[in-house]
Amino acid sequence: MQYPITLQTVDNRFLISIDKDFIEQDFVFELMNYIRIEYLAKKVNFDESIEILAEEIKANWWDKNKSRLLNPEL
């Protein structure tokens, strides 16, 4: 039985082969972009303070926008 996705390891690389009939090209590009972002995020090595700042930013944004989003007719 042939699988639509195969993974091979060659030296220090993964080679992924995907049947074109299984996944659309746009999805593959999105997936590759996600992998690139994950790679870059791991290289940055943020400390815990950045996560605290991110939570504060999200909380402030939600406080300012929740009424607009929960009551769209306003």
- Would the pTM of this model clear 0.75, i.e. be above it? no
Q: Are 74 and 68 in contact (CB under 8 A)?
A: yes
* Residue 9: per-residue pLDDT: 97
How many separate domains does the chain show?
1
Domain that holds residue 9: 5-70
pLDDT, tens only, 2-59 = 889 999 999 999 999 999 999 999 999 999 999 999 999 888 877 888 889 999 999 9
* Residue 61: per-residue pLDDT: 95
The model's confidence at residue 74, banded by pLDDT at 50, 70 and 90, is low
The model's confidence at residue 73, banded by pLDDT at 50, 70 and 90, is confident
